[in-house]
């Protein structure tokens, strides 16, 4: 534990308020009190972190939007941690996400951001001691660094301690998609520390391994590690080989940056949902009617944060932001559709972050004591939820009872907009073409009744000739 308190009761109270995911950092712990994000700093970091503060590095990075703004707190909470060298307060990141929820483009952008940050810090006389992807978060599609205790003063010949971590949490997941066309999300979610080189290398083809960057960052370190374990190479020789001058470290980071910049997702199978915005069952006037209803909902509600369930390529998320929503987070099960949504957010500089996530299997609580990485539902704090052409994918496509679908959606926000798709709609007829599924309980009247039991229906707008209807609600 970072902050040693003066009594057993204080010890228990401090443990209860620390963020369950911050235990890994020996230099300090993160906690939240009264809406403030605070961090203890151990006395062992007095020299290094004192230099970071005095150098102006924190302010320079914060001014450039690259790091959360952090300063010593003047709050009374600091008195609860008398043995901490300092207690800092950091600005809040709007929504915490994890690399196993990111698109390929988001992970690539985060990787390049981390390398650029490392290079800038080196240029200012500092260093980054680790390379955890979890230390990067997003404001919309823009990355931001959150772990200020990873910053240190640079020492000559210092090894890049985070090299292996960078490979496992950034490079290897990107290579999985770029070389093999396999999205990283499921594997990464099942292995929170990333994808090990020893597991990825057997899957790569010879032409992939012939790449200088793959040889240097995956093949050679893995061979050296195996030799050390087998006793063929002495551990002190491995450590000596790891030390390198600053110019070599800079060259390594720059070379890795060039390599990652050129990575592209391998050709994947055609995606039905990536083309949904232009290939759907709406007539032109029906699509315009739907857009008008969504825009009107947002203009009336003026939500600060919107959750867009089944965000597809982000068309409606962009519409909602233009209509007055401050920010949006999207869920999309199809990686290619989510990829297009992220590109839309990045190119338009939208405060919109689409995540690759199957709503029927959303991110669970994981890690140490099932609390280190909270579930999507635990992190979800939204002012409005919008579920367009979505509920039938769970109720019909995944056999989730309609009552549970509605209850799950309504829990996310005090108000929202849900599109009901009736049985006679062409989309549902296609879904049922090869399935014999009883739908006695799936009807508009049943939907209305179930929603009314959970919330107050404030408006109904029929938007298509087939009976698609948008239901606006406010939670009771």
User: pLDDT (tens digit, 0 to 9) for every residue of the chain, 476 residues total?
Assistant: 233 333 344 444 455 578 888 888 888 889 888 888 999 999 999 999 999 999 999 999 999 999 999 998 877 766 777 778 999 999 999 899 999 999 999 999 999 999 999 999 999 999 999 999 999 999 999 999 999 999 999 999 998 999 999 999 999 999 999 999 999 999 999 999 999 999 999 999 999 999 999 999 999 999 988 876 766 655 555 554 556 899 999 999 999 999 999 999 997 655 554 555 555 566 889 999 999 999 999 999 999 999 999 999 999 999 999 999 999 999 999 999 999 999 999 999 999 999 999 999 999 999 999 999 999 999 999 999 999 999 999 999 999 999 999 999 999 999 999 999 998 899 888 887 777 767 778 999 999 999 999 999 999 999 999 999 999 999 97
- Is 354 inside a domain boundary? yes
Same domain, 189 and 241: yes
Same domain, 112 and 235: yes
Give the count of alpha carbons within 13 A of 132, CB side only: 19
How far is the C-alpha of 99 from the C-alpha of 176, rounded, in Å? 14
Tens digit of each residue's pLDDT (9 = 90 or more) over 400-453: 999 999 999 999 999 999 999 998 899 888 887 777 767 778 999 999 999 999
- Is 2 inside a domain boundary? no
Range of the domain at 49: 8-90
Instruction: For residue 209, give both structure tokens.
Output: 């391994």
- Is 3 inside a domain boundary? no
Same domain, 108 and 257: yes
Same domain, 430 and 447: yes
Residue 93 confidence (pLDDT): 93
Tens digit of each residue's pLDDT (9 = 90 or more) over 282-327: 688 999 999 999 999 999 999 999 999 999 999 999 999 999 999 9
Instruction: For residue 255, give both structure tokens.
Output: 């070379």
Same domain, 305 and 385: yes
Asked if residues 217 and 225 have their Cβ atoms less than 8 Å apart, the reply is no
Same domain, 65 and 173: no
Same domain, 232 and 330: no
- Is 266 inside a domain boundary? no
Which of 149, 281, 164 lies closest to 225 in space, CA to CA?
Answer: 164
Same domain, 237 and 281: no
Q: Give the domain-ending residue among 261, 288, 307.
A: 261
Cβ neighbours, 10 Å, residue 181: 12
Residue 73 confidence (pLDDT): 86
Residue 230 confidence (pLDDT): 66
Residue written as tokens 């980054």? 128
Q: Give the domain-ending residue among 214, 232, 261.
A: 261
- Is 290 inside a domain boundary? yes
- Is 431 inside a domain boundary? yes
State if pTM tops 0.75: yes
- Is 268 inside a domain boundary? no
Written in H, E and C, the secondary structure of the chain is: CCCCCCCHHHHHHHHHHECCCCCCCCCCCEEEECCEEEEEECHHHHHHHHHHHHHCHHHHHHHCCCECCEEECCCHHHHHCCCCCEEEEECCCCCCCCHHHCCHHHHHHHHHHHHHHHHHHHHCCEEECCCCHHHEEEECCEEEECCHHHEEECCCCCCCCCHHHHHHHHHHHHHHHHHHCCCCHHHHHHCCCCCCHHHHHHHCCHHHHCCHHHHHHHHHHHHHHHHHHHCCCCHHHHHHHHCCCHHHHHHHHHHHHHHHHCCCCCCCCCCCHHHCCCCCCCCHHHHHHHHHHHHHHHHHHCCCEEEEECCCCCHHHHHHHHHCCCEEEEEECCHHHHHHHHHHHHHHCCCEEEEECCHHHCCCCECHHHCCECCHHHHCCCCEEEECCCHHHHHCCCCCCHHHHHHHHHCCCCEEEEEECCCCCHHHHHHCCCCCCCCCCCCHHHHHHHHHHHEEEEEEEECCCCCCEEEEEEEC
Q: Give the domain-ending residue among 37, 64, 90.
A: 90
Residue 7 confidence (pLDDT): 37
- Is 185 inside a domain boundary? yes
Same domain, 314 and 199: no
- CA 300 to chain centroid: 29
Strands 455-462 and 469-475, bridge-based pairing:
antiparallel
Instruction: Measure CA of the first residue to CA of the last residue in the chain; give whole Å.
Output: 43
Same domain, 331 and 184: no
Bridge partners for 151 per DSSP = 128
Same domain, 240 and 300: no
Same domain, 197 and 289: no
**314 to each of 5, 233, 273, 286, 442, how far by Cα in Å?**
48, 52, 11, 19, 28
Q: Quote the number of domains for the chain.
A: 3
């Amino acid at each position: 534990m970072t902050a040693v308190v003066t009594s057993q009761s204080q010890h228990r109270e401090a443990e209860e308020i620390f963020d369950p995911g911050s235990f890994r950092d020996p230099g300090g712990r993160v906690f939240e009190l009264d809406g403030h994000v605070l961090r203890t700093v151990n006395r062992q970091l007095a020299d290094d972190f004192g230099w970071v503060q005095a150098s102006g590095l924190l302010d320079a990075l914060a001014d450039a939007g690259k790091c959360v703004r952090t300063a010593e707190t003047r709050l009374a909470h600091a008195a609860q941690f008398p043995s901490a060298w300092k207690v800092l307060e950091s600005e809040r990141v709007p929504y915490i996400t994890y690399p196993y929820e990111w698109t390929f483009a988001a992970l690539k952008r985060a990787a390049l951001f981390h390398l650029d940050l490392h290079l800038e810090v080196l240029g200012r006389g500092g260093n980054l001691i680790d390379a955890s992807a979890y230390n990067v978060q997003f404001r919309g599609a823009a990355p931001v660094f959150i772990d200020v205790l990873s910053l240190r003063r640079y020492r000559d010949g210092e090894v890049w301690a985070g090299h292996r971590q960078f490979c496992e949490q950034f490079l290897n997941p990107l290579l999985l998609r770029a070389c093999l066309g396999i999205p990283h999300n499921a594997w990464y979610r099942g292995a929170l520390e990333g994808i090990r080189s020893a597991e990825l290398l057997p899957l790569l083809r010879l032409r992939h391994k012939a790449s200088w960057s793959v040889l240097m960052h995956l093949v050679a370190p893995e061979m050296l590690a195996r030799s050390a374990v087998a006793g063929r190479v002495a551990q002190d020789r491995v450590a000596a080989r790891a030390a390198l001058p600053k110019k070599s470290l800079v060259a390594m980071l720059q070379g890795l940056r060039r390599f990652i910049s050129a990575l592209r997702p391998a050709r994947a199978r055609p995606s039905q949902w990536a083309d949904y915005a232009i290939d759907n069952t709406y007539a032109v006037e029906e699509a315009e009617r739907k857009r008008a209803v969504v825009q009107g909902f947002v203009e009336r509600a003026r939500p600060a944060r919107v959750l867009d369930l089944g965000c597809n390529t982000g068309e409606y998320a962009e519409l909602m932001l233009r209509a007055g929503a401050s920010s949006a987070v999207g869920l999309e099960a199809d990686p290619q559709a989510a990829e297009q949504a992220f590109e839309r957010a990045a190119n338009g500089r939208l405060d919109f972050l689409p995540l690759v996530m199957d709503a029927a299997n959303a991110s669970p609580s994981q890690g140490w004591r099932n609390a280190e990485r909270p579930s999507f539902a635990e992190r979800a704090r939204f002012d409005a939820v919008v579920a367009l052409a979505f509920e039938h994918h769970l109720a019909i496509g995944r056999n989730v009872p309609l009552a549970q679908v509605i209850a799950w959606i309504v829990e996310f926000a005090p108000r929202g907009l849900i599109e009901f798709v009736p049985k006679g709609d062409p989309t549902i007829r296609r879904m049922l073409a090869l399935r014999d599924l009883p739908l006695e309980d799936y009807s508009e009247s049943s939907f209305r009744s179930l929603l009314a039991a959970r919330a107050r229906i404030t408006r109904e707008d029929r938007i298509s000739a087939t009976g698609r209807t948008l239901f606006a609600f406010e939670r009771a």
